[in-house]
Amino acid sequence: MHLRGHHNILKRVLLHAGALNLGLLMRTLFGVGTPRGLQGRVAAIFIAVYSFTRLSETFWTLLSRLYRAAYRPRTYTVVPMYFELKSLS
């Protein structure tokens, strides 16, 4: 490193620290530490995201159907009842 431009040295150190942190984060989340290592995993990530959205969509559809079935207004049919009036005599 050159001591000539202190700002450039600081920028370089910050860039290296950020890249290191990004590599650690990617290694923790995806199991790969570099963006180049993700090239073969793009399809797998896409399929995982697609599967998650389909699963959540199916879950909310089922939940809304159950909710509508539980709180559907009930219709009652009135059955006329016929009483015979008996004379009290």
The per-residue pLDDT for range 4-60, each reduced to its tens digit, is 666 678 888 888 999 888 888 878 887 777 777 777 677 777 888 898 999 999 999
**What does the pLDDT read at residue 53?**
92
pLDDT tens sequence across 58-74: 999 998 888 888 877 77
Rounded-to-integer distance, Cα 75 and Cα 79, Å = 13
**What does the pLDDT read at residue 59?**
92
User: Vertex 46, ends 41 and 49: CA angle to 5°?
Assistant: 125
Contact in structure between 29 and 39 (CB atoms under 8 Å): no
